């Protein structure tokens, strides 16, 4: 029988360049979340390592089977008897490529689901920052929904947030909750973080769990923080600040059904012609 309520905890980190230290930090915060009543704990993108230099990254990461940090987190989930979603770890899949992989770990310590980040953050920002995730990471090609005791959870990571079609697919495939573990830059976070997360919640009628990296990291990168837990109605139930810590919120699953009955937009999708095939009359109509 599906349980109807639970408490979620979102962990905020400022991951550095040493995996062992990052794992110690996240384990301490997961324990804090459990002490505060969390049944499900979600950690940010790049929980294990924040490293931009390609050579250094590949010198430190391993394949999944040899990842000691992942093994420790699986052991912790079993010890605490909690579901833990590791927002992402960098996992080596060849000498030249890694994946940005999210893990759902069950209370028995076993990995129940994996999701590889689909959308790569390749961008030049106005402040001079430049990111080329596709140089080091192979994008995933599958949307993933995983079962939790309280419903179905869609897994996404950071830049995926800007691609609303993915969230629509997850919701229409049965997702009740969607995770968005992130490491938003300071610039993009200040501009778009809150509005995008609230929009994804409203569009899908899902709870959104968005733990974040926050602060100035050892490599000099500044991330926005402000982890959020958002209701299906778009209300912010909990928000973090800029420093490492934990936020929690009580989740009433019945709110999903109630919200979708009030705004049943998931049932109202219609097909329409591709504008490129409609000729100049259609384009003039749009511009008039």
What residue ranges do the domains of the chain occupy?
5-287
In tens, the pLDDT along 24-58 reads 999 999 999 999 999 999 999 999 999 988 999 99
| pLDDT confidence of residue 132 | 80
**How far apart, in whole angstroms, are the C-alpha atoms of residue 131 and residue 17?**
17
Q: Which residues of 143-176 are buried (b: 16+ CB within 10 A; e: fewer)?
A: bbbbebebbbbbbbbbbbbeeeebbbebbeeebb
Cβ-based neighbours of 50, under 8 Å, separated by 6 or more: 15, 16, 17, 22, 183, 213, 217, 218, 219, 221
| pLDDT confidence of residue 281 | 45
| pLDDT confidence of residue 238 | 98
**How far apart, in whole angstroms, are the C-alpha atoms of residue 211 and residue 223?**
12
Cα 61 to its chain centre, rounded Å, is 20
Per-residue pLDDT of the chain (288 residues; tens, 9 = 90+): 467 899 999 999 999 999 999 999 999 999 999 999 999 999 999 999 999 889 999 999 999 999 999 999 999 999 999 999 999 999 999 999 999 999 999 999 999 999 999 999 877 767 666 678 889 999 999 999 999 999 999 999 999 999 999 999 999 999 999 999 999 999 999 999 999 999 999 999 999 999 999 999 977 889 999 999 999 999 999 999 999 999 999 999 999 999 999 999 999 988 777 666 555 444 444 433
In tens, the pLDDT along 231-269 reads 999 999 999 999 999 999 999 999 999 999 999 999 998
In the CATH scheme, what is the code of domain 5-287? 3.60.110.10
| pLDDT confidence of residue 149 | 97
Q: Mind telling me the catalytic residues?
A: 45, 117, 158
**How far apart, in whole angstroms, are the C-alpha atoms of residue 204 and residue 107?**
28
């Amino acid at each position: 029988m599906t349980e109807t309520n639970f408490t979620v905890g979102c962990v905020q980190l400022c991951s550095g360049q040493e995996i062992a230290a990052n794992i110690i930090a996240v384990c301490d915060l997961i324990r804090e979340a459990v002490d505060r009543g969390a049944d499900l704990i979600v950690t940010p993108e790049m929980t294990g390592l924040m490293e931009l230099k390609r050579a250094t990254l590949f010198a430190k990461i391993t394949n999944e089977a040899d990842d000691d940090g992942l093994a420790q987190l699986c052991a912790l989930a079993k010890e605490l008897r909690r579901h833990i979603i590791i927002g992402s770890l960098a996992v080596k899949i060849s000498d030249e490529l890694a994946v940005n992989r999210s893990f759902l770990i069950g209370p028995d310590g076993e990995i129940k689901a994996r999701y590889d980040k689909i959308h790569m953050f390749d961008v030049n920002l106005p402040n001079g920052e430049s990111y080329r995730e596709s140089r080091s990471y192979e994008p995933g090609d599958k949307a993933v929904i995983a079962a939790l005791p309280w419903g179905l959870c869609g897994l996404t990571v950071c830049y995926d947030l800007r691609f609303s079609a993915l969230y629509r697919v997850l919701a229409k495939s049965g997702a009740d909750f969607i995770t968005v573990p992130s490491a938003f830059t300071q610039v993009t976070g200040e501009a778009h973080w809150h509005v995008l997360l609230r929009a994804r919640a409203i569009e899908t009628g899902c709870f959104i769990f968005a733990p974040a990296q926050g602060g100035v990291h050892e490599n000099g990168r500044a991330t926005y923080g402000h982890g959020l837990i958002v209701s299906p109605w778009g209300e912010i139930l909990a928000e973090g600040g800029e420093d490492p810590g934990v936020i929690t919120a009580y989740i009433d699953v019945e709110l999903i059904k109630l919200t979708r009955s009030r705004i049943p937009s998931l049932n109202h999708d219609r097909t329409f012609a591709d504008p490129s095939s409609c000729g100049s009359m259609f384009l003039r109509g749009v511009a008039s």
